[in-house]
């Protein structure tokens, strides 16, 4: 991808993904000329407010419950340093490097709009760290989602002043040492800068964006795995008929049915009309209705994130019109829109896992698949347990997802002496969405693993080899390239890891 020029208004999913998963020295990120001018204008406005001696929240006052504490001009810089140090109270595992790089890029883009009062020098240091691979160590937990992601963003900001910890060249070290190793110097924060760096929805936006992109890929993988299962159990495509979905025209349901028809094109493993078996179980027959509804949640999160990605989410904001400067306090840091979207998506991904696990059950239970397949996908049952416990693992992950699907957004806990009396828990929603997505990825991998075994067993029972669909053949082949047919019981963990690797490597083509 070409170098990325930030203007605060046109950052895309593709650009975030390319930077997140790219290497230092790859596409470089820089500020556009208009962004530079807007940043300089807002920073000059902050200086003008200080010269006038005006009272402005977070510039010449304390924060949160200390909003009524006036800070002298001599102490405004210490105030900004103190907010960064005192707010760096995150706990838990650190975000991985791709997530951290997404955080850095999204934060820089937000600040590039020129409403936050950040200085050009500070913003350019963020971009230099990103381009050279100085990655702040940011703990996952500690954000309430209003006033934004304060605690984790403080860890990000600490590195800019030479504090905290960072990763550079694959090694973790003190933040100041990482800057020095990269040939960079820390900044001394001026008025408003500490608040601008720590206030906003950047953490939840970054995590949610990466998870939404992966969720979209997994929705496609779910369609293919479901079709491979349908072929393995001699299912029918009748329920995917275009006419059925045209009379209940939910867009993603229609899209999913069309996708299933495409995936199964050319298949010789499905059954035609059978007067004694006219329809399949819901987990096969209702794939368009269930998978389509889950795709709605992905589409909603994508739509919302495209807005949030180019929004200004800190507080207060600085508006400059000629000589008129207004500092206005609001609530753009509140993560409620994101929290609701991520909870919705977590529920949807849990459902994709639930229906996949039920298809695994159908593959392994010979009564459920009308004895098309042997019990637990082994020809010598009893002596061999076959794939019996693979279904257990899928069931365990689905149960975990049901716990994680409880919405974080319906919870709130007052903070800052009840000044910040309603919070979104948006970062919590994003982090548990990540756990749900990982579980779904594994469940779909288990379905593909089982379905490939089932296809081979069914092929053995047919008079001649039958073709798979043009969309299921690549998934079957990818599994078989890593995992052989399992004739007798053997160590299964390595095979499961290989199937998960197939699922992780699955990526849809096209834009987001």
pLDDT digits (tens), the chain, 512 positions: 689 999 999 999 999 999 999 988 788 999 999 999 999 999 999 988 888 877 777 777 766 666 667 777 778 888 899 999 999 999 999 999 999 999 999 999 999 999 999 999 999 999 999 999 999 999 999 999 988 899 999 999 999 999 999 999 999 999 999 999 999 999 999 989 999 999 999 999 999 999 999 999 999 999 999 999 999 999 999 999 999 999 999 999 999 999 999 999 999 999 988 887 889 999 999 999 999 999 999 999 999 999 999 999 999 999 999 889 999 999 999 999 999 999 999 999 999 999 999 999 999 999 999 899 999 999 999 999 999 999 999 999 999 999 999 999 999 988 887 778 899 999 999 999 999 999 999 999 999 999 999 999 999 988 778 999 999 999 999 999 999 999 999 999 999 999 999 999 886 544 44
Entry pTM: 0.95
Distance CA 265, CA 271 (A): 13
Distance CA 123, CA 10 (A): 18
Residue 300 annotated among the catalytic residues of the structure: no
Instruction: Give the three-state DSSP class for 188.
Output: coil
Helix (H) or strand (E) holding 332: none
Distance CA 209, CA 204 (A): 8
Distance CA 387, CA 380 (A): 12
Distance CA 370, CA 15 (A): 49
Q: Catalytic residue among 21, 57, 282, 344, which?
A: 57
Which domains are delineated in the chain?
4-200 (1.10.275.10), 208-321+330-505 (1.20.200.10)
Asked if 333 and 424 count as a contact pair (C-beta separation under 8 A), the reply is no
Sign of CA dihedral 62, 65, 67, 72: negative
């Amino acid at each position: 991808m070409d170098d990325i020029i930030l203007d605060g208004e046109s950052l895309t999913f593709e650009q975030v993904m390319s930077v997140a998963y790219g290497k230092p020295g790859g596409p470089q990120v820089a500020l556009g000329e208009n962004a530079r001018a807007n940043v300089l204008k807002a920073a000059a406005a902050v200086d003008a407010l200080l010269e006038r001696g005006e009272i402005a929240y977070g510039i010449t006052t304390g924060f949160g419950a200390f909003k009524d504490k006036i800070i002298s001009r001599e102490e405004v810089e210490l105030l900004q340093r103190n907010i960064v140090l005192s707010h760096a109270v995150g706990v838990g595992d650190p975000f991985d490097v791709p997530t951290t790089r997404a955080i850095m890029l999204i934060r820089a883009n937000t600040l590039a709009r020129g409403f936050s009062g950040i200085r050009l020098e500070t913003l350019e240091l963020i971009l230099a760290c990103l381009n050279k691979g100085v990655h702040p160590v940011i703990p996952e937990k500690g954000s309430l989602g209003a006033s934004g992601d304060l605690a984790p963003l403080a860890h990000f900001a600490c590195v800019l002043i030479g504090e905290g910890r960072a990763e550079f060249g694959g090694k973790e070290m003190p933040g100041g040492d990482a800057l020095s190793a990269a040939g960079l110097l820390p900044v001394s924060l001026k008025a408003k800068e500490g608040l601008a760096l720590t206030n906003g929805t950047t953490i939840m936006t970054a995590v949610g964006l990466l998870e939404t992109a992966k969720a979209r890929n997994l929705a496609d993988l779910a369609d293919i795995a479901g079709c491979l299962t349908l072929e393995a159990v001699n299912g029918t495509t009748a329920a995917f008929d275009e006419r059925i979905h045209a009379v209940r025209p939910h867009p993603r349901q229609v899209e999913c049915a069309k996708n299933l028809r495409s995936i199964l094109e050319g298949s010789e493993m499905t059954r035609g009309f059978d007067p004694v078996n006219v329809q399949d179980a819901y987990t096969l027959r209702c794939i368009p209705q269930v998978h389509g509804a889950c795709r709605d949640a992905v589409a909603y999160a994508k739509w919302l994130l495209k807005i949030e990605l180019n929004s200004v989410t800190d507080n207060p904001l600085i508006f400059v019109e000629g000589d008129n400067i207004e500092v206005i306090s609001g609530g753009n840091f509140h993560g409620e829109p994101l929290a609701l979207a991520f909870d919705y998506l977590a529920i949807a991904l849990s459902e994709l896992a639930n229906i996949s696990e039920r298809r695994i059950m159908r593959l392994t239970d010979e009564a459920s698949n009308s004895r098309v397949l042997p019990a637990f996908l082994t020809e010598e049952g009893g002596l061999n347990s076959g794939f019996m416990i693979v279904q257990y693992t899928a069931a365990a992950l689905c149960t975990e997802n049901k716990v994680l699907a409880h919405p974080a957004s319906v919870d709130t806990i007052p903070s800052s002496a009840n000044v910040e009396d309603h919070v979104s828990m948006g970062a919590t929603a994003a982090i548990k969405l990540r756990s749900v997505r990982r579980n779904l990825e594994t469940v779909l991998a288990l379905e593909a693993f089982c379905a490939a075994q089932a296809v081979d067993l069914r092929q053995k029972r047919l008079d001649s080899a039958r073709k798979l669909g043009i969309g299921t053949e690549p998934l079957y082949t990818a599994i078989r390239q890593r995992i052989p047919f399992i004739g007798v019981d053997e160590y299964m963990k390595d095979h499961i890891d290989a199937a998960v690797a197939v699922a992780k490597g699955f990526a849809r083509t096209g834009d987001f």
